[in-house]
Amino acid sequence: MHTHSDLQLLVNSAHEAKVRQGVTLEVLGQDGLSYAPVTDDVLAELRRQLAAWNDDPPDFAWTWRTVGEYLDRLDEGIAVNACYLVPHGTVRMCVLGLDDRPPTADELADMRQLVAEGLEQGAVGLSAGLTYVPGMYADDEEVIALCEVLRDYGGFYCPHHRNYGLRAIEAYGDCIEIARRVGVPLHLAHAHLGFEVNRGRAPELLAMIDAARADGVDVTMDTYPYLAGATYLHAFLPRWMHAGGSTETLARLRQEELRERLRAELEDHGSDGFHDVPIDWSIIVISGVRTAPAERWLGQSIAEAATQAGRRPIDFVCELLVEEELGVACIAHIGNEENVRSIMAHPAHTAGSDGILVGERPHPRSYGTFPRYLAVYVRELGILSWEQAIRKMTSLPCQRLGFTDRGLLRPGMAADVVCFDPDTVRDTATYEDPKRLPEGIPYVVVNGRVVIDGGQHTGELAGRALRRSQRRESSPARRGA
């Protein structure tokens, strides 16, 4: 339900990391940031901003600009099925660039138009990344105006909410209020309720979700079965560091006179990029870099690496981001196991890896999420039954996505089938050795074609882009805009 394979599915279309886990369908366009729809300028900016999620392969052919063209490109050959959410941040960049201000009425109409076009071309919903630039520049009114377009087309709203730390519960509440007000289905992305300030607060979140569901708001969510988070390192910088785009961010990172303000915001007060929680550099581990000299930092925390380099952590971070032109991926050890367990046991919870496939030492969730649910949380701990865990990975996601012909084993349904051994299925990827493939999943069938046969990839590219089921002939949102 949540993954960052937007480019890697095209670069390495065999997609072994995922298909070996039994994945047959991925939901792309997450966190408000992906590569369609784009203009040439927006694409250039996003390639740099998102390099630590998706890489930026030098010879890659960027043949698409619209959502429809991107889905057509996926149709040219991928191992698993994929569907797409229109990313709010990307849409905002197309209309307002990276300006930190509300849109004018005309600009908002243009954004609504781009969302409507993406949905008409087959996207299944709208994603938002409200702690990332430029999603964090949007107020609720802007989000509501775009969700209204969704309502007319029958897609769902999938936010990375405004704050994962100090104000996480409040931020989830905001998302629910928007869904209630507009009348759209809501899917909360990676709702893991991490950070020390939220320890033990899962029951509050789940009570809020239960109350909303009882009240008719259609809420679902996903998490991955790990304690750490992962993203690009410059996501933690305060919003003013991002104004004007990556070239200006890099210029500010070089400015010594800004260093103390930056240090105080990150370390003493908590930057809005780090969810208003003071950052502890010992829990932030470097997982991916761009240049060979920086590879020596892989697997080390910022605190360790800075000590070795003889620099203060804040100086080390700024200098590394400059050297790598922002292409630094990191793993943040912020999770609470009791929250992870409580949330995954909820009936509205679905599985999602949030997998980031690039970098030398990626988060193990990219290679282990789905077998880990089965091995650890079903077989070892008994937190989920087999039936519950399987539903979270099959029928419930397909219901949320609106794919009524998938997700169940029944005559007439699409043959996306996984055959695993309940006694031996397990993840083997670890933080130290994250690219190890799982065991106990001998067969994976996608659209009726065998992609994993006896544990080996057959080379079949059996997947295709799945487009939103059409509900309406006309496009009321376009008229309304």
Residues in the site for Zn ion, rule: CB under 5 A? 30-31, 354
CB of 31 to Zn ion, least distance (A): 4
Q: Produce one character per residue of 373-382: b if its CB has 16 or more CB atoms within 10 Å, e if not.
A: bbbbbbbeee
Give the residue with the Cβ less far from Zn ion, 30 or 342. Answer: 30
DSSP assignment letter at 453: E
**Euclidean distance between CA atoms 320 and 318, whole angstroms:** 6
Which of 369/440 has CB closer to Zn ion?
369
CA atoms within a 13 Å half-sphere pointing along the CA-CB vector of 85:
34
Cα–Cα distance measured from residue 363 to residue 356, given in angstroms and rounded to the nearest whole number: 7
- For residue 128, the minimal CB distance to Zn ion (Å) is 12
| Comparison of 92 and 363: residue with beta carbon closer to Zn ion | 363
Written as six digits, the tokens of 453 are 């046969």
Shortest Å distance, C-beta 60 to Zn ion: 21
Tokens of 187: 């899917």
Answer yes or no: are the C-beta atoms of 201 and 232 closer than 8 Å.
no
**What are the backbone angles phi and psi of residue 189, rounded to the nearest 5°?**
-75, 145
For Zn ion, the closer CB: 265 or 272? 272
CB of 55 to Zn ion, least distance (A): 16
Between 18 and 112, name the residue whose CB sits nearer to Zn ion.
18
CB of 192 to Zn ion, least distance (A): 11
Nearest residue (CB) to Zn ion, 31 versus 120: 31
Nearest distance, CB of residue 33 and Zn ion, angstroms:
9
Nearest approach, Cβ of residue 356 and Zn ion (Å): 8
* Number of residues that this document lists for the chain: 481
C-beta of 329 vs 481, nearer to Zn ion: 329
Concatenated DSSP letters for 179-204? HHHHT--EEETT----SGGGTT-HHH
Q: How many CA atoms lie within 13 A of 211 on its CB side?
A: 10
The residue type found at 17 is A
Tokens 């849409």 label which residue?
91
